[in-house]
Amino acid sequence: MTPHARSGYAQAAAPVRTHRGSEYAAFAHVTAGLRSADPDDRLQFPALARAVHDNGRLWSALADDLRLEENGLPLALRAQLLGLAEFVRRHSNHVLAGRAPVEPLIEINTAIMKGLRGEVEAAA
């Protein structure tokens, strides 16, 4: 088989992700970074800062998408998610200043990932 043919087959073998799957993967990646950095270890502060920054970039991109007229989510859900994005922005600043724990950011991302997987809890 020629190298050109091999590369053609390799591209076809790449996994196909839905938008929801891609969003889940992005949240899983940044959440893993948040979990792995120990906020109590000052030597790990660069890793924590990088993880918080990456998380903030994801939420900023999400907020930008939510503001688009063509976003297909219901308006009420968009508003709730924009509120979360603002909370994440403010809380991230507090985490980086050493005035707040990172756990709320992890919890929010985990809840979003559950929603993306369809594991939303029924309202009580």
For residue 122, the model assigns a pLDDT of 46
**Residue 107 or 39, more confident:** 107
Q: Is the pLDDT at 118 greater than 80, yes or no?
A: yes
* CA distance readout (Å), 62 to 30, 65, 81, 115: 13, 5, 9, 15
Q: pLDDT tens digits, residue range 47-58? A: 999 999 999 999
Q: Is the pLDDT at 17 greater than 70, yes or no?
A: no
Q: pLDDT tens digits, residue range 67-106? A: 999 999 999 999 999 999 999 999 999 999 999 999 999 9
For residue 1, the model assigns a pLDDT of 54
Helices of type H across 1-124: 3-12, 19-36, 45-66, 75-96, 103-116
